[in-house]
């Protein structure tokens, strides 16, 4: 299906990073893009630059999302908004759990609930859920994020089953490390954060993720690109650790001393 077969798109988390890059990429294809984010200044600047339609909405605001979904028939849905509070689950706060579940999973479920049935009815649509390699692989210190992204991965699979027989395509995008400002949002706006996560690494750019999404959307209608893992060439997932009892006890005590 070429881009000309789609007319409207909804992009969440659109004010910066991957979301903003996706807005720019879709606007380049003359798609009417409705961009959602909480940051009014950044969103309005994006609207001025790209011609997208800005909506200053928190994705957890179910009433506002429902009003928008009821007023526009969306052909493309890009679920991109997300937050993170990196820590081990043994150190998690109740607020951490609620925030990540509300933004990264509950909001995605409700937005799909409000928009995908219309796609099924019209026999046309494409859902792109931007998940993470954290939904497929385990690595330490980010347990809640892993859990909610796994939920998004399973939702992506289930949506295809629930829409079976209709030309509604679902793509899950699983980025690894990408050169965006998400690390500053998560770890603080400090030069050391950029040095730790960005400087000196060869990383995909937000525009690379946007191009991959455009590739999936522009594929013929008979083609559903269901899952993409997009990582730096010099990043790998996986690993195996085995601890001696005395070593694991020492690590646990050291972690406790940091709290």
Could you tell me which residues come within 8 angstroms of residue 233 by beta carbon, excluding any fewer than 6 positions away? Answer: 202
d(CA 42, CA 44): 6
d(CA 178, CA 212): 13
Residues contacting residue 238 through CB under 8 Å, at least 6 positions apart: 137
- Which residues make Cβ contacts (< 8 Å) with residue 69, sequence separation at least 6? 10, 111, 114, 115, 118
The reply to whether 145 belongs to the active site is yes
Q: Which of 6, 137, 145, 252 is catalytic?
A: 145
CB atoms within 10 A of CB 27: 18
Residues forming the active site: 145
């Amino acid at each position: 299906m070429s881009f000309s077969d789609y007319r409207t798109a909804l992009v969440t988390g659109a004010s910066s990073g991957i979301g903003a890059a996706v807005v720019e990429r879709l606007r380049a294809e003359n798609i009417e893009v409705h961009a959602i984010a909480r940051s009014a200044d950044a969103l309005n600047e994006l609207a001025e630059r790209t011609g997208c339609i800005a909506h200053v909405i928190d994705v957890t605001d179910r009433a506002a999302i429902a009003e928008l979904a009821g007023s526009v028939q969306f052909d493309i849905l890009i679920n991109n908004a997300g937050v993170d509070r990196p820590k081990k689950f043994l150190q998690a706060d109740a607020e951490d759990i609620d925030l990540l579940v509300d933004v990264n999973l509950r909001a995605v479920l409700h937005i799909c609930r409000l928009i995908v049935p219309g796609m099924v009815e019209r026999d046309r649509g494409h859902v792109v859920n931007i998940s993470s390699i954290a939904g497929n692989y385990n690595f330490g210190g980010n347990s809640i994020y892993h859990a909610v992204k796994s939920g998004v991965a399973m939702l992506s699979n289930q949506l295809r089953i629930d829409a079976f027989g209709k030309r509604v395509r679902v793509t899950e995008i699983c980025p690894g490390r990408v050169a965006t400002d998400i690390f500053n949002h998560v770890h603080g706006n400090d030069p050391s954060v950029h040095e730790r996560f960005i400087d000196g690494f060869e990383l995909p750019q937000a525009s690379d993720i946007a191009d991959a999404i455009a590739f999936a959307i522009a594929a013929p209608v008979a083609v559903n690109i269901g899952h993409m893992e997009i990582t730096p060439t010099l990043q790998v997932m996986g690993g195996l650790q085995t601890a001696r009892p005395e070593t694991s006890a020492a690590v646990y005590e050291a972690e406790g001393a940091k709290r």
